[in-house]
Amino acid sequence: MKYLKNLALFVALCMVLSTLPIVVGATSANDTGALTAAADDADTEATSAPTETPGTEATPEVTEEPDVTDAPDVTAEPDATKDPGATAEPDATSTPDATADPNATAAPVPTATATASTRFNISVEPNSFSTIKTYVNSVTANSALKGARVRIKARATRGYNYTRLYYKYNTDLTYDITSSTVESVNDYIEMPASDIVICAETAQMNDQQLYRSAQNQYNEVTANLNTYTSRYVNNSSAYDAADVREMRSLISEAKELLVGLKDEYTLFNNLIRDDNVTEYARNDVTSIQSELDEVTDQIDDLIERMGGNNQDGTYEIQVNVSRGGRIVFQGALEATVNGATANASDYFTNIEYGYALTLKFSSTTGYTLSNVRINNRNVSLSGSTLSISAANIENYVVNGVMLISANFVYGNSGYTGTTYGGSGSSGSTNYNNPYYGNVLGNGTSATAVPTENQTGGIQSSAFVDLADVEWAVPSINALSSLGIINGMGDGRFEPQSHVTREQFAKMIVGVMGYSIDQSASTDFSDDMGDWYTPYIAAAVQNGIITGRPDGTFGVGDDITRQDIAVIIYRTQGSPATEAHQFPDSGSISDYAVDAVSYLFNSGIASGDDQGNFNPGNPATRAEAAKMLYGLYNSLGR
């Protein structure tokens, strides 16, 4: 019996010792799969030991074996002596299915561990002729969550084009961002559940492509500078004074470079015609293009600091709709603001950039749409719709907010033909209405317009909001009595509101008595054949309006005081005039110097209380009325 007992103890001790090399081997393994497999084997042997030694005395000896806790390598797995099963999966958090299926570690899946908070890397494959930046929520980023909207801003080196821009993911899959020939890309992609690498393929431009590139850059930057001047410089009270000064300086620098760029691409075009293009000539063009890029990039950075683009990638819409109409939003926002029975207001937050937005306006029976303003600027519609492309959304947002105001007025005097649809329904606008789109008022009932008496005197004003512009009251009343201007409804004239370029075109044509062809068209790229087209065409035909260097008219943009001066000056044949020095004459653009002097010398316009002409300021409705009536009087009518 003693022999058998000793034999049983020997067997039990061997069984315990047999487990130690396996545990030691597991802790030294580098591969997670090897570690898990070794632990599983140890667990299996430990639980099967009692069945191999049926002796009842052997079992207590295994669990009480003092050498197990003394083994130096076992302590590497601190839970081994407490719960052998726990050591079976030391890396269970990285292979959650291993306990259910011990063979799961044989084929690990890298993305199986991804959670809602997993970020995937964004990298860019080097290309000597390409610069690519990536943004998430308008902030530069080199990683993103699955499903995030990642903005890709890419620009080829001047003189080169992209022939393809794409990203690779899951090793061998690709997705085209663009496969056409372009100079730059500003687009969004949806982040996959994988790291991505953005790749660019570029090619050098031929001579004709380089010429068009320089010309397009000139036109694009010119248009942008006009927008920045209107939004920031002419609206300086809304921004930090130091930022406005920097904006003025950068715009001035960009304008100087534009002059140089135009000279270079004009010369380059001549060389193309003479078949005499050299690499030096190409470099002259691309060098000044790059300089202009640097300045415009600084302007973009400044706009970000000034709050022009919302930092978190979203913006807010605030809406005010007067009684008598409604706005239906589609695209980036799906909603309706209904002012059919009473004034209505609403606001919407967390609207993402990168999506188009459409606003559809309709009025109830007896009402007509008077005007639409966004961030206190008049905007023009195409029919009863305003469509804003994804690329242009930021132009309608100031400090993260798009403030929309739609004013409907009761009555449609002078409005013939089809009006908007019945209650709550959409319809089409009739542009035969002489007051529709009027620079100084829309759709006001004729009973609200004063008339001129036989002695030339003006009846007391029908407008109730002129107390702060007494200097303009005679002009406003006179033009109102002549049917040239109108109010904004409810007895209001809104003298401090701004005047758009197309609205002033209609007014100047009316004052001058030019004939109108309702079927006329123009060559301006932003003339959509709307109500204003016949008036712009008449102004062009009579040589008083020429448009902008980039081929646009500037539809929807506020007209400046100096541009009004130029147009009025041209109606008089641009006569020679004595120069007049205002305190701010240095701010008057070269093309407007003679025109501004003419308006002062002829008594049509003068300066403010300090004598300044304020040439770049948007003209208010009161100022426009004053200058228009001054012109009317000078005609001797």
Q: Which residues contact 382 (CB under 8 A, 6 or more apart)?
A: 528, 530
Is 553 domain-assigned?
no
Beta strand spans in 332-417 (E): 335-339, 344-352, 357-363, 367-374, 377-378, 385-388, 401-410
Is 517 domain-assigned?
no
Q: Are residues 341 and 404 in the same domain?
A: yes
Is 143 domain-assigned?
yes
What tens digit of pLDDT does each residue of 355-375 get?
889 999 998 887 888 888 888
Q: Are residues 233 and 271 in the same domain?
A: yes
Report how far residue 510's alpha carbon sits from residue 512's, in angstroms, rounded to the nearest whole number. 5
Instruction: Count Cβ atoms below 10 Å from residue 427 Cβ, excluding itself.
Output: 15
How much is the pLDDT for 41? 33
- Residue the block writes with tokens 């001579």: 207
- Quote the percentage of the chain above a pLDDT of 90: 28
What is the rounded average pLDDT for all residues in the chain?
A: 74
Q: Are residues 160 and 75 in the same domain?
A: no
- Residue 469 pLDDT level (bands cut at 50, 70, 90): confident
Q: Answer yes or no: is pLDDT of 461 > 60.
A: no
Q: Are residues 67 and 31 in the same domain?
A: yes
Q: Answer yes or no: is pLDDT of 530 > 70.
A: yes
Q: Which token pair is 151?
A: 């903005």
- Which of 268, 290, 305 terminates a domain? The answer is 305
Q: Answer yes or no: is pLDDT of 189 > 90.
A: no
- Which of 305, 325, 356 terminates a domain? The answer is 305
Measured distance between the N- and C-terminal CA atoms of the chain, rounded to whole angstroms: 141
Alpha carbon 323 to its chain centroid, in Å, reads 30
pTM exceeds 0.85, yes or no: no
**Cα angle value 350/355/356 (rounded, 5°):** 120
- Which of 106, 139, 165 terminates a domain? The answer is 106
Q: Indicate which CATH number applies to the domain containing 321.
A: 2.60.40
Q: Answer yes or no: is pLDDT of 412 > 70.
A: no
Running DSSP on this structure, what letter comes out for residue 604?
S
Q: Which residues contact 320 (CB under 8 A, 6 or more apart)?
A: 343, 344, 345, 403, 404, 405, 406
Q: Are residues 12 and 45 in the same domain?
A: yes
- Report the pLDDT averaged over residues 610-634: 90
Q: Are residues 226 and 174 in the same domain?
A: no
Q: Are residues 263 and 292 in the same domain?
A: yes
Is 24 domain-assigned?
yes
Residue 168 belongs to what domain range?
Answer: 119-204
- Residue 462 pLDDT level (bands cut at 50, 70, 90): low
Average the pLDDT over each of 124-128, 214-218, 428-432 and give the range with the smallest value: 428-432
The larger pLDDT score, comparing residue 172 to residue 512, is at 512
Is 591 domain-assigned?
no
Q: Which residues contact 237 (CB under 8 A, 6 or more apart)?
A: none
Is 621 domain-assigned?
no
Beta bridge partners of 402: 317
- Residue 380 pLDDT level (bands cut at 50, 70, 90): confident
What tens digit of pLDDT does each residue of 274-287 get?
999 999 999 999 99
